[in-house]
Chains A and B, each alone.
Chain A
């Protein structure tokens, strides 16, 4: 084979190789984006249409967004868990404590910017203080000091 023929083969291989690598990378990014959008859809309780959101921004952006969305997902789950636990314990509490202490705790938990670890801690401390305050309320009844 002449050197000219080798040059043609090398050029074709370069073009095909570049196209194949580019295509593979584009598919990987599309997959990353779809995963990210699926997570986002779970967080926001939405159902995203995949084709509308396939946008190439580079893998580092996708990875950063994944970290953020993972935390958002954890926060969302922690908030749902808080609502579920509080709904479960409120049956055993006086109306005032339900509306005031549980309501305030839930309002604080639903405030933007609270991370998932903080929410978990808030659930635990709220349950602890609800128990202590409920005992205090019960103890105050015999002395006629019960809250309305």
Chain B
């Protein structure tokens, strides 16, 4: 259940971010358990955008990126709802497991 899509949606609940930042946010919040590499992160972000769950925009170019802009992402209304639904589902699942039912 907890896949890259879920991890990114949960990371975006706290606010917008760009690829590197989102990967770091996921790593921190999962205490290093989930490490999104380049092979999963960028295709997943583009897939979320195609599904209308996130929208993206480009910031100003920066020298440390060789004059390339950062591509920021944020949740759409549809994405925010999906993220909340998944959060509730995970919470229920954990509660169910902890009760040992």
Q: How far apart are B44's CB and chain A's nearest CB, in angstroms?
A: 11
Q: Is A96 an interface residue (CB 8 A)?
A: yes
Contact present for A107 and B20 (CB under 8 Å): yes
Contact present for A98 and B68 (CB under 8 Å): yes
Q: Is A147 an interface residue (CB 8 A)?
A: yes
Cβ contacts B65-81/A at 8 Å (1 or 0 each): 11011110000000000
The number of residues on chain B lying at the interface, defined by a beta carbon within 8 Å of a beta carbon of chain A, is: 21
Which residues in A have their C-beta under 8 angstroms from that of B66? 83, 86-87, 102-103, 106
Contact present for B71 and A106 (CB under 8 Å): no
Which residues in A have their C-beta under 8 angstroms from that of B62? 107
Q: Bound complex: CA of A24 vs CA of B62, how far in Å?
A: 50
Neighbour of B39 across the interface among A87, A103, A133, CB < 8 A: A133
Which residues in A have their C-beta under 8 angstroms from that of B69? 99, 103
The number of residues on chain A lying at the interface, defined by a beta carbon within 8 Å of a beta carbon of chain B, is: 28
CB proximity to A under 8 Å, residues B61-101: 62, 64-66, 68-71
14 A-B pairs whose Cβ atoms sit less than 8 Å apart in the complex: A99-B71, A100-B18, A102-B66, A103-B71, A106-B65, A107-B62, A107-B64, A107-B65, A126-B38, A129-B42, A130-B38, A133-B38, A133-B39, A133-B42
Given contacts A100-B19, A103-B70, 8 further A-B contacts (CB under 8 A): A87-B66, A101-B42, A104-B20, A104-B70, A106-B65, A133-B43, A136-B43, A147-B49
Binding site for A on B (CB under 8 A): 18-20, 37-39, 42-43, 45-46, 49-50, 58, 62, 64-66, 68-71
Binding site for B on A (CB under 8 A): 83, 86-87, 96-108, 110, 125-126, 129-130, 132-133, 136-137, 145, 147-148
